[in-house]
Amino acid sequence: MDEASAGRRTAALLAVWTATRAVLVLCVLRVLVLPGPDVTSDVSVIYRGWYEVLRQGSFPAGDVAWQYPPGAALAVLSPAVLPFLDYATAFLVLALLADLVVLGLLLAAGRGADRSPRGAWVWTAGAAAVGPTLYARYDVLVTAVAVAALLAGARHPRVLGVLAGFGALLKGWPLLLLAGARGTTGRRAWGAAVLTAAAGVLVAVSALPGALSFLSAQRDRGTEVESVGALVFHLARQAGWDGRVELRYGSMEFTGPYVAVAGTVAQVLTAAGLVWLLAWRLRAHRSGPHTLADAAFTAVLLCTVTSRVISPQYLVWLAGLGAVCLCFAGSTMRLPVVLVLAAAGVTVLEFPVFFADVVASDGLGVGLLVVRDGLLVAACLLACRALWRATVPPVRAVSLPGQVSRSREDLHS
């Protein structure tokens, strides 16, 4: 591709990014109002409340909605760097900057041999499809760290490890970025990640009380209404199941008979997914420049679909990781990424637009969840298959000596 053509494509991408982000900013500022609940309340009410508690010298340990590792305090406190703005506006500015950083990283990564500009387009479209939730949660900040980590990983394993460890302090899941790190690169990355995360936890525990309170809140969470496992109860309500939906631990969860069993099943499935990842690591002997990103995307997707919770902002993670995958021309994740983009588009419909229908288990709400969660499950299965086929050599049949001799006799008879 010549420079003029590349320049036109970049200009077109920036125009689309600017247009979509302008719409999202107007939604967050309530100039444009989507139907359904106000997605900005998490920042203006919950984050702002945590901000005041943290400034007083402790973690919000008494709030069951605080379910995040201690590094999340940095994200909640970050608007303080813009003291001339009110909290919600400052958070919006920082989220927008993080989004722009991701775009810049992907644009740079898409240049060169065996690279592709598709990654930047995936982020531009996928993150926008999630809707104003993109700027109303701190997940875009974590995603920026994760994207930087993966793009640095091939050449700078310790940088990968430090950023993955720091990301894990923010929200946990970035530790899965190391799923495909193997050999010397893997040892260096894992060592740096463990040291970074351990140091961060030690500092947090020493500095403020309640740094580890998130563990009990995470342990006690139930089956959230948007998760794959929740589909069973949505359908059961149609048949007369007497369970309810309640606001618990900061989200709408099912309560009633068999809900605890479903939560246990989800945890078992997540554990089974991690065992599959371990088996893949032991069997994989082929790799390319894209393998680290492909494995990270697959690992996060696998843990997402088996989780007791699938919040809308989880699609921001997947859009970012999918975008990194498609920066590499040889990535095997094209179809799974396309399915994730489709799922992101459905997500903005189920939350916030028709969230009341989801909570009530109405036909429209259940239908949207079936489509969205079905797309994610399909993407997960296809990603696992593609990763295995691309990296695990096929098993070759081994003939015993007697079988070889018999075959030769058959040929001469």
How much is the pLDDT for 402?
52
Inform me whether the pLDDT recorded for 403 exceeds 80: no
How much is the pLDDT for 373?
98
Percent of all residues in the chain with a pLDDT value above 70, rounded to a whole number: 95
Burial tier of 166 (Cβ tally within 10 Å: 0-12, 13-18, 19+):
buried
Strand ranges, E, within 232-333: 244-248, 251-255
Task: Look up tokens 């900057």; give the residue.
Answer: 97
Q: What is the mean pLDDT of residues 14-30?
A: 97
Inter-CA distances, 65 with 50, 61, 122, 218, Å: 10, 9, 31, 9
Q: How many CB atoms lie within 10 A of CB 154?
A: 16
Give pLDDT tens digits for 335-384: 999 999 999 999 999 999 999 999 999 999 999 999 999 999 999 999 99
Q: How many CB atoms lie within 10 A of CB 342?
A: 18
Q: Which residue has the higher pLDDT, 247 or 220?
A: 247
Task: Give 248's pLDDT tier (boundaries 50, 70, 90).
Answer: confident
If you compute the radius of gyration of the chain from its CA atoms, what whole number of angstroms results?
23
* Contact yes or no for 177/78 (Cβ under 8 A): no
Q: How many CB atoms lie within 10 A of CB 203?
A: 14
Inform me whether the pLDDT recorded for 106 exceeds 50: yes
Structure tokens at 399: 């003939």
Give pLDDT tens digits for 131-162: 999 999 999 999 999 999 999 987 899 999 99
Inform me whether the pLDDT recorded for 327 exceeds 70: yes
* Lowest-confidence segment of 104-108, 171-175, 249-253, 273-277 by average pLDDT: 249-253
Rounded to an integer, what distance in angstroms lies between the CA atom of residue 26 and that of residue 226? Answer: 26
Angle at the Cα of 348 (from 345 to 353), degrees rounded to 5?
140
Burial tier of 353 (Cβ tally within 10 Å: 0-12, 13-18, 19+):
middle
Q: What is the mean pLDDT of residues 48-67?
A: 92
Inform me whether the pLDDT recorded for 330 exceeds 90: yes
How much is the pLDDT for 410?
43
Q: How many CB atoms lie within 10 A of CB 213?
A: 19
